[in-house]
Structure 1
Amino acid sequence: MEQRHLGRSGLLVSRLGLGTMSWGQDTDPDEAAAQLSAFVDAGGTLVDTADVYSGGDSERILGHLLRELVDRDELVVATKAAIRPNGRYDASRRHLLAALDASLDRLGLEYVDLWQLHVYDPATPIEETLSALDEAVLSGRTRYVGVSNYSGWQLAKAAAWQRAWPGRTPIVSAQLEYSLLSRDIEREAVPAALDAGAGLLPWSPLGRGVLTGKYRTGIPADSRAAAPHFADFVQPYLDEECARIVESVVTAAEGLGVSPLSVALSWVRDRPGVVAPVVGARSASQLSGALESEDLALPASIRAALDDVSDMSVSHP
């Protein structure tokens, strides 16, 4: 698998990331092991988790697999903090550093490669939040830092603060939702990331699963849209506008002799500023479809057609 630098850093990561949000909930430890084995065998390195995924079980399962299945040095381990178990945002220095220590304990690691602020917390001064990132790097608990779910101005402010004084830790990544069904970040967040030198790590690059084409004729019983804890998450992308984009993806896939998943993933993977889409699969068989996209480079004509059909409506600014 091709390796790319994460933003303007020296850290190399695979151009596809493995998401683990479902580990410990919809994905049991055995299935997680099968996913990780397939991912590593394909040359994947970037594995992304968070302290709140499955109440911490995602990190626990990953930590077990790092001890029993794969060499820790083969992977770039990324996790996140800033959301309490009750859902409240908390990016205070006190909470963040305690959360990082708890993540390291669950993972069984002395450090993670990438530690990310999961959300922006408007109740905490940004300079306090960012001081926790500096402390985490200086103490050796993480090697690099990034942000997640930040708007353009939030990312620009954080990146500018970190660049304002020598010795502060630069923001090297921004994990944001991005797909053919969700291109809003192109207005401000993508330009902010490019200017800041932060590599984009798109989450839900398959439009919450809709771009696979599985919902074209209804909601499969075994799909996320049929699950009580995911139905509201998928529903916004089941409208007529999204269906039109999905049909274009399917048409392109049929013409190329590949899956709609491969077309949608290849499109976002090679967008400006994107380093590695983060794909969360419930099973190894689902993950295999994403891994097959590694060999696909979309022809310019198809890329242009998909750009056109998914183009955002004009807005200001």
Structure 2
Amino acid sequence: MEQRHLGRTGLRVSRLGLGTMTWSRDTDAHDATEQLRDFTDAGGTLVDTSASYADGGAEELLGELLDDVVPRDEVVLCTKAGIRRTSTGGVVDASRGGLLASLDGSLRRLRTDHVDLWLVQTPDPRTPLDETVSALRLAVTSGRARYVGLSNHAGWQVARAASLLEGEVGLTAVEAEYSLLQRGIEREVVPAAVALGVGVLAWSPLGRGVLTGKYRRTIPADSRAASPHLAGFVEPYLARASATIVEAVATAATGLERTPLEVALAWVQGRGVASAVVGARTATQLRASIAAQDLVLPDELRRALDEVSAPTLGYPERF
């Protein structure tokens, strides 16, 4: 599997990343073991998790599997912080104390003394960005993280953080949702990342599963859209506005004699991202994404998909 540099750093990640959002909740230890083994056997290196996934359960499961399934130093381990669990639910907390405490907890669960990439999962409107960035700086200088970045932040926040970290530490990556059904980062986040040499990681490149075509006729009983805790995650992309794009992907797949999943994933991986992170629930689903790595979309087909899914742009992006 192709390895790509993350921004202007020496860190290299596989063009397909393994997401673990469902681990320990919808994905048990057996399936997680199969996923990790199949992924690394195919040359995959980037494994993406978070302190908030299954309230730390995903990190715990991953920590149990590292070394047993694959040596720790053969994966690029990425985790995220910034959502703190309380008795009333998750609370956004990107304060210096909150972030560093979360990182220490992640290291314990992952059974390692450092992560390769540490990201702030979401903006915190109650904490100054300068304070949030100070935690990123300390994570690197203390050796707990090799590289740092942001996730789900706006373009101006990416630019400000990169400015504050310029020099010894640097901002390495921005992780954001990106697919044919969600191209919002093209307005400001991607241009900022390109200008500043920050790598882009795309999460949910399959449009939360909708671009696979599984929901074209009905909602399968074993799908995320039928799950009590994930139905709200999928529902926004089941609206009529998405149908035209989903049908275009299905038509392209038929013409290429490939699957809609393969077409949707190839589109994202051809958009200049360092890696597309897929969060498969089962090993079978992950194998489908691994099988897509040989597909390069014809230029004419890519342009057609670009057109049918084009995001709305206006002032000030276009003046």
TM-score of the superposed pair, with normalisation by structure 2: 0.96
Q: Report the more deviating stretch, 222-231 or 19-28.
A: 222-231
Once the two structures are superposed, residues 258-280 of structure 1 have per-residue CA deviations (whole angstroms, 9 ceiling, x without a partner) of: 110000000001103x1101000
Preserved CA contact (<8 Å) 2:100 2:135: yes
Cα distance in 1 between the residues matched to 2:53 and 2:236: 22
Name the counterpart of 1:81: 81
Matching of residues 184-203 of structure 1 within 5 Å: 184-203=184-203
User: What is the letter of the counterpart of residue 69 of structure 1?
Assistant: V
> Which one of the candidate residues 84, 93, 102 is aligned to 2:96?
93
Cα distance in structure 2, aligned partners of 1:266 and 1:156: 28
Contact 2:137 2:165 in 1 (8 A): no
1:76-225 matches, cutoff 5 A: 76-85=76-85, 86-163=89-166, 166-167=167-168, 169-225=169-225
In structure 1, how many angstroms separate the alpha carbons of the residues matched to 2:119 and 2:312? 31
Inter-partner Cα distance in structure 1 for 2:274 and 2:23: 23
**Quick one: distance in 2 between partners of 1:97 and 1:311?**
39
CA shift, 1:148, in A, is 0.2
C-alpha distance in structure 1 between counterparts of 2:129 and 2:195, whole Å: 19
- What letter is aligned with 1:151? A
The alpha carbon displacement at 1:162 in A equals 1.5
Q: Distance in 2 between matches of 1:94 and 1:56?
A: 18
User: What's the CA shift for 1:210?
Assistant: 0.3
Q: Is the CA contact 2:47–2:78 (under 8 Å) kept in the aligned structure 1? A: yes
Aligned partners of 1:65 and 1:316: how far apart in 2? 49
The one-letter code sitting in structure 2 at the alignment partner of 1:230 is L
The number of equivalent residue pairs is 313
Indicate the residue corresponding to 2:288 in structure 1. 289
After superposition, what is the alpha-carbon deviation per residue over 1:42-98, rounded to whole angstroms, capped at 9, x for unaligned?
100000000010011100111111031111111000000011013211111111111
**Partners of 1:102 and 1:230 in 2: how far apart?**
25
Q: Distance in 1 between matches of 2:311 and 2:277?
A: 23
Matched residue type, 2:281: R
Q: Secondary structure at the match of 2:35?
A: helix
> What SS does the corresponding residue of 2:202 show, helix, strand or coil?
coil
Q: Where does the alignment leave 5 or more consecutive residues of structure 1 unmatched? A: none
Q: What SS does the corresponding residue of 1:102 show, helix, strand or coil?
A: helix
Report if aligned partners of 2:95, 2:132 keep a CA contact under 8 Å in 1. yes
What residue is the counterpart of 1:31 in the other structure? 31
Report the counterpart of residue 21 of structure 2 in structure 1. Answer: 21
Equivalent position SS for 1:99: helix
Counterpart in the other structure of 2:65: 65
Residue 10 of structure 1 deviates from its aligned partner by: 0.3
Task: Compute the displacement of 1:102 (Å).
Answer: 0.6
RMSD after superposition: 0.9
Residue 308 in 1 paired to residue 302 in 2?
Answer: no
* Separation in 1, partners of 2:92, 2:315: 29
In structure 2, what is the equivalent of residue 46 of structure 1?
46
Question: What amino acid maps onto 2:292 in structure 1?
Answer: S
Q: Kindly provide the amino acid, as one letter, of the partner of residue 293 in structure 1.
A: A
Compute the displacement of 1:220 (Å): 0.8
- State the identity as a percent: 58
Q: Secondary structure at the match of 1:235?
A: helix
Distance 1:158 1:92 in 2: 14
Scaled by the length of structure 1, the TM-score of the pair is 0.97
> Is contact 2:211–2:261 with CA below 8 Å preserved after alignment?
yes
Counterparts of 2:312 and 2:138, CA distance in 1: 42
Partner of 2:271: 271
Given that 2:187 and 2:313 are in contact with CA atoms closer than 8 Å, whether structure 1 keeps it comes out as no
Q: Deviations over 1:85-124 (max 9, x none)?
A: 1321111111111111110000000101000011111211
